[in-house]
Amino acid sequence: MISKLMRFIGDPTYTRRRWQLFIAALVLTVAADLLVTKGPAAFFWQHLPGWNALFGLVSCLLIIFISKFLGYRCGLMREEDYYDE
């Protein structure tokens, strides 16, 4: 099962299918956000449809890009054989 999943994730022939699943997940997330009743909000943008989904996506992307920047550019990541020397 896990080998099929890894093949699906890594194989370039499934690129179009992966994008379709990604877009479907985003649409379902925004649709779920539209169906949920929201309580009082502190800011006006919290009432925008899909705001929580967009905020979550942007937050996750920022975490990924900042961690990659810190690892590669700032020298926090070491070589694979760092402890073998």
- Neighbouring CB atoms inside 10 A of 53's CB total 19
Torsion over CA of 50, 51, 56 and 59, rounded to 10 degrees? 140
> Structurally, how many domains does the chain consist of?
1
Tokens matching residue 32:
């779920």
Domain housing 29: 2-84
Q: What is the pLDDT of residues 41-67, one digit of tens each?
A: 899 888 888 888 889 889 999 999 999
Q: What is the pLDDT of residues 4-46, one digit of tens each?
A: 878 888 888 888 998 999 899 988 888 888 888 878 889 988 8
